[in-house]
Structure 1
Amino acid sequence: MSIVAALRRPLGEDLSGFVRMLRQLDVPHRVSEEAGEQVLWVPDEQLAEEVRGLFQRYPQGGEAQVQVDPGRPSAWRGVATQLRDSPLTALVLLLTLVVTLLSQFGDNHAVTHWITFVDYQVHGEYAYFVPWLDSLKAGEWWRLFSPMLLHLNWLHLAMNGMWYWELGRRIEYRQGRLGLLGLTLLFGLLSNSAQFWFEGSGRFGGLSGVLYGLLGYCWIFQLLAPTPAYVLPRGVLVMMLIWLLVCLSGAVDLLGFGAIANAAHVGGLLAGCATGLLGGALARARR
């Protein structure tokens, strides 16, 4: 891979602030003197275009990290700005909150039965589930996706919301709103289907399968085509994989935290790794 000259500036110009900002953003680069100019080199043309755009807006560095890597927290960055920069991520979280509250964490069966992967009716102490193909034949295709919006307790909602905010913003910045929407729906479909087929239960929910999909996507994409937006905080990947193994071991069930949708987690992760492999390979080929 040949390096590309992103900037050529006079020798007397101070680039220290801009270079410091690039280091903070983990953007690979180097600066050399060539024919009486300062030349800033980066690994590929796509990154060079991004760096040129940054320099036009922030020649002295500083606040540009807010725009480049929305996944990185900033103590002084306002909530309104974050919402403005990540509208689809915020919309998905808002829908998740509304659906969960309307369903009363799954206890309001009048609402919940419209959201679950398989329709059901409660009679007395028993729930009777409708064959899933009957629901699809009736045109209820939203059931393939809607379980990802349903959460059964506050801890479940808070943890999934936090991680979707962390990962969704990164992908929305790098791939755009349609890219994030497509990946969210794809991982929701595949993780929900995996959970239903492997566990046989129609009553499950949560963004966890989608989150493992987004994690796998960022992980593999970053290995093939490094980009600042997908540089995850240290330990996040290891922690999430360890948590997956703990859940698969059955320890969480034994501790009384409720059933875990392990098939959704594994299905989402595999789907995320596969799409990250495809997306990363295409990005690498374009470079």
Structure 2
Amino acid sequence: MPEGFVALRAAAGEDLRPFAALLQQQGIRCRIYEAAGDQVVEVAGEAQVHVAQTLYKAWRDGDIQLQLRAAPARSSARPELAAAWHQAPVTILLLLLSVAGFLLVYLGASAERLSLFTFTPFTINGNTLQFGEMGDQYWRLLTPAFLHFGWLHIVFNSLWLWELGARIERRLGSVHMLGLFVCIALVSNGCQFVFGGPSIFGGMSGVVYGLLGFSFAGARLQPVWGFEPSRPIMLLMVGWLLLCIAGVVEVLGFGAIANAAHVAGLLSGALLGALLALLSRRGGDSAGAGRL
């Protein structure tokens, strides 16, 4: 949401999620962030300021609860997909592009077409892969993230991308999510090429681990963000990473693993999370601004 109009301020410890849902039900887009120790509620239009203030007073006084309970059909009338798109459009777009990349591989695209999306172009001569130079085809820095080479690959990456990415985007906004994807994909793909050499690699795993690192480091330093991964998720993801690095996953028949991309993604995401969290704490309502 672009810069809006401040409707009200509330105590930092107050749970404004029900109020944000109420505003959304009334068709009022809002952004809630922390500034100077308070929570600030912004709305998109100046005419909505008074409406938001009135709804907030009624909600605080308990007058609005009966209306919400009396009209459940209205609150659930909005399609879930449309609501998800409104809250996390970048994450959904990344999911769709990942599915497209999977279908490209699964449906047997020609080597010439597949070569358009790998980190470096390649040709097949007999049984030999020959790799060329990237040149000025800079889209290749990002597009390997969308290529997926199996059902488990696309399913698990998509689940984790939605779990981590949507939570970040709902809190920090779509611009931050897009920037995170670009930065983490650049680092993870680049490191995989540097340390693994020319090869056909792909998948959103490097970005997923980057979002994991961002969520952990960022929310630790800026708890108001509220999207720190749970301990079981951290243990599962880091444990899987260690199994991949140890070679256990390849021995079990899961194929070659882009370990450099995973590690680089995790570290770059954690660094970005720490930097943005520190900027948020220092700047109050700038880098820490987000929406519920």
- TM-score, length basis structure 2: 0.72
Contact 1:173/1:229, CA 8 A, preserved across alignment: no
One of 106, 120, 123 as aligned partner of 1:121: 123
Matching residue of 1:208: 205
In structure 1, the gaps of 5 or more residues are 8-17, 23-42, 63-75
* Residue 202 (structure 1) shift: 2.4
Q: Secondary structure at the match of 2:220?
A: helix
Indicate the SS of the match to 1:188.
Answer: helix
* Structure 2 counterpart of 1:232, from 229, 234, 251: 229
Change (3 A) 1:196 1:58: farther
Structure 1 CA distance, aligned partners of 2:105 and 2:36? 49
Partner AA of 1:176 in structure 2: G
The range that moved more, 106-115 or 189-198, is 106-115
Shift in alpha-carbon separation, 1:156–1:286, aligned structure 2, 3 A: same
Deviations 1:196-248 (A, max 9, x none): 11111321000000011111111111111112541334411121111111111
Matched, 1:168 2:172: no
**How many Å separate the matches in 2 of 1:247 and 1:58?**
54
Deviates more, 1:102-111 or 1:204-213: 102-111
Post-superposition CA distance 1:17-69 (Å, at most 9, x none): x86978xxxxxxxxxxxxxxxxxxxx96465225997973992598xxxxxxx
Question: CA 1:164–1:57 in structure 2 vs 1: closer, same or farther (change >3 Å)?
Answer: farther
Query: 1:103, 1:111 within 8 Å by CA — same for their partners in 2?
Result: no
Which amino acid letter does the alignment assign opposite residue 170 of structure 1? R
Change (3 A) 1:283 1:113: same
Tell whether 2:10 aligns with 1:6. Answer: yes
**Distance in structure 2 (CA, Å) of the matches to 1:50 and 1:235:** 33
Contact 2:212 2:229 in 1 (8 A): no
Structure 2 spans left out of the alignment, 5+ residues: 1-8, 19-33, 44-51, 66-77, 285-292
The aligned residue for residue 68 of structure 1 is: none
Asked whether the 8 Å contact 1:117–1:203 carries over to 2, the reply is yes
Q: Which of 262, 265, 281 is the equivalent residue of 2:278?
A: 281
Q: CA deviation at 1:192?
A: 0.4
1:46–1:79 Cα change, 3 Å: farther
Query: 1:277 Cα deviation (Å)?
Result: 1.1
SS at match of 2:254: coil
Aligned mates of 1:167, 1:281 — CA distance in 2: 20
Using the alignment, how far apart are the partners of 2:143 and 2:58 within structure 1?
42
After superposition, the Cα gap between the structure-2 partners of 1:51 and 1:45, relative to the gap in structure 1 and judged at 3 Å, is: farther
Indicate conservation of the 8 Å contact 2:102/2:148, yes or no. yes
Structure 1 match to 2:94: 92
Q: Give the 5 Å matches for 1:252-271.
A: 252-271=249-268
Structure 1 residues 196 and 20, CA, compared in 2 at 3 Å: closer, same or farther? closer
Map residues 1-287 of structure 1 onto 2, 5 A cutoff: 6=10, 45=36, 48-50=39-41, 56=56, 59=59, 78-104=80-106, 108-130=110-132, 134-136=133-135, 139-287=136-284
- CA shift for structure 1 position 264: 0.2
> 1:125-177: CA deviations, max 9, x gaps?
221111xxx322xx211111110000000110010011111111122122211
CA contact (8 A) 2:220 2:228 kept: no
Higher relative contact order (CA 8 A, sep 6+): 2
- Sort the Cα spacing of 1:48 and 1:114 in 2 relative to 1 into closer, same or farther, 3 A: same
Q: 1:98 to 1:58 in 2, by over 3 A?
A: farther
Equivalent pairs counted in the alignment come to 237
Distance 1:250 1:196 in 2: 19
